[in-house]
Every structure is written in structure tokens, then in C-alpha cells.
Amino acid sequence: MKYRDWLQEWLGYYAKPSVKAKTYEKYARQVRRYLAPRLGGYAPEELTPLRLQKFAVSLTDGGLSANTANGIITVLQSSLRAAVNAGKAEREHGKSVVRPKIREKQVECFSKAEQKKLEGHILHGKNTKLFGIVVALYTGLRIGELLALRREDVDLGKGLLTVRKTCYDGWRGGKYVKITDMPKTENSVRAIPLPRQLLPYIKEMKRRSGGLYMVPGNTEYGAEIRCYRRTFGALLKKLGIPHKGFHALRHTFATRAIEVGMDVKTLSEILGHKNPSVTLQRYAHPLLEHKAEMMNKLGKLLI
């Protein structure tokens, strides 16, 4: 059996039953683009440590990021391990691969002035679709969680927003569609208390959204991720704010929360992190303006 044939069996019998649909699609894409064309002609037994290491190095040499390359190597290792367990190979050399080093991405967030500029434009405007940006700024929702948010997920009486689902853009029947799925992890299912100052705006958002979803779109399924990202990018350009990805709203929420003194455990649960150490590692370095503010407070001790 060639490795390309085993990869198809691995996808169908091992990956598909055990991972989310979005993850399966990513694995299938990695197999189709990288693993099958470059290694598929070999038998699993012929995938020696040196051959696999050369393949791993070629990924980053070919321009892929370390994160992308590591994702492909994960599929490689998992499929070869399963081949041994299924009796399709005697030995598995994938674990010997030296992975490319991942550099921690710098957390991008908006300054207080940029945040206020965004909020002012949105809250004094009439575009209900944009209200979701302010919700993300004050809840830390991921874009998939925000766009999967249904009207019944918001309890104005209790002041609670419940994250039950997430969504992503998939490819079905030759076109992009919005696919709703379970959240990223078990910890991602959570209830978030809403700031009371935000409640009147969310009440208006809920009243004006009309459909099933809090953030309206062009279909009954609400806004699609790629469209909402484009809308967000266009808004930043219009307001003269340097471009950042939508995820910067989540980082901004976390940074502001730390700045006002929210404890890490509470912040971790609101963000849906597995444990507080993840939160600490990611947000141990607040914005420079906050550091300067703290240093100036310290400087007041100078006689």
C-alpha cells in the first residue's frame, strides 16, 4: 500500500470520527496539497527519518509559516502512528521529526483612543450589523462565536450572554456557506455577564436584528465570517485606524480587563481558556500606554 492510499483510509476511519468538521476539512486539505503529492508515492515503510525531516524542512523553505508547517507535521505523525496500530507498517518514524520553532505572535490590540473612535461611530450610527463589534469589545467573543449568537442566547433580564455554538465559512456545492458547530473547546461553552452599560445597546440590537441571529446578514443564517471581516476592515479604513484583524477585538477586551484590575481567573473563564496560565502567558504584556501610566505612578515617589 502506498502512503497516499493509507492517507485516505486514515482520513475516513480515524480523523473524521474523532475531530470537528472544520478540523477534518483542514486535515483533508493538508493531505491533498502537501502530504499526498510529496510523500504519497512511497510505502509507509519507506518514509525514513531523514526523508521525513527533509519534507518538514521543505515546508518552511517553501514559504509556509512555522504554524502551518507544524499543522501538516501533526497530520503526518498521526497518520503514520495509526498505520502502525492498524498493521499497515511495522515502524513509525514521524515522532523523530524536528519541528520548526514557532515564534510567539505579538498580541495586537486597539489603543483606548482607537477603541473610543470605533465605539462612537458604531453606537451613534444606525447600522445594526456593526453593533457586534462593540459586543466583541466588551465580551471577548471570537468572531465565530459572535456570528453564531442567536437571540435566545442573550438574556437581558439576567444580563447574561451564553456561548453555545461557533461558526465558520465552509465550502459546499461550489459555494461558501456558513456552518455552525460546537465551540472550540469544552471551556468555550460559557455564560458571560454583560456590563450593565452595554445592556441598552444590546436590547436595541436584539430588537432590530429581526432574524434568528443577533448579528444580521444577507440570509436567514446571519452574517458570514468572511463578509463580516471585510466589513470590519472597511470600517477601520474609513475611520483612519491602522488595520488589525478582527481577533484584535478579543485581545483588546482582555487587555482592558487587566488594566481595570480584573483577576486572571475571572478573565480566563470569560475568554473560555482552558486554565488561567493560558491567559497569563498571552496577556502578561499589556499595552505600552498602560506600562507608561504605571511607571509614572511609580515616579511620583521620587522626591
CB-based contacts of 212: which residues, under 8 Å, 6+ apart?
Answer: 150, 151, 220, 221, 222
Q: Which of 42, 71, 96 is the last residue of a domain?
A: 96
- Residue pair 252/109 in contact by the 8 Å Cβ criterion: yes
Assess whether 92 and 144 both reside in one domain: no
pLDDT tens, 61-95? Answer: 989 999 999 999 999 999 999 999 999 888 888 88
Q: Which of 37, 63, 96 is the last residue of a domain?
A: 96
Q: What is the CATH number of the domain that holds 284?
A: 1.10.443.10
Assess whether 63 and 197 both reside in one domain: no
Assess whether 25 and 173 both reside in one domain: no
Q: What is the CATH number of the domain that holds 75?
A: 1.10.150.130
Q: Which of 96, 131, 147 is the last residue of a domain?
A: 96
Number of domains in the chain: 2
Residue 190 parent element (H or E): strand 190-193
Assess whether 90 and 117 both reside in one domain: no
Q: Is residue 286 part of a domain?
A: yes
pLDDT tens, 100-159? Answer: 987 766 778 999 999 999 999 999 988 888 999 999 999 999 999 999 999 999 999 999
Average pLDDT over residues 263-290: 82
- Per the confidence metrics, is the pTM higher than 0.85? no
Assess whether 264 and 133 both reside in one domain: yes
Q: Is residue 133 part of a domain?
A: yes
pLDDT tens, 215-257? Answer: 988 777 788 899 999 999 999 999 999 999 999 999 999 999 9
Q: Is residue 105 part of a domain?
A: no
Written as nine digits, the cell of 232 is 470590519
* 159 vs 303, more confident: 159
| Helix locations, the chain, DSSP H | 3-10, 16-18, 21-30, 36-39, 49-61, 66-85, 112-123, 131-139, 143-147, 199-209, 225-239, 247-259, 264-271, 276-282, 288-299
Burial classification of residue 56, based on how many CB atoms lie within 10 Å of its CB (0-12 exposed, 13-18 middle, 19 or more buried): buried
Assess whether 64 and 170 both reside in one domain: no
Average pLDDT over residues 192-219: 87
Cβ neighbour number for residue 75 with a 10 Å cutoff:
22
Assess whether 75 and 158 both reside in one domain: no
Residue 274 pLDDT = 87
Assess whether 127 and 42 both reside in one domain: no
- Residue pair 250/193 in contact by the 8 Å Cβ criterion: no
Q: Which domain holds residue 62?
A: 3-96
Assess whether 63 and 193 both reside in one domain: no
Assess whether 134 and 264 both reside in one domain: yes
Written as nine digits, the cell of 139 is 465580551
Task: Give me the DSSP letters along 9-61.
Answer: HHIIIIIHHHS-HHHHHHHHHHIIIIIHHHHTTS-GGG--HHHHHHHHHHHHH
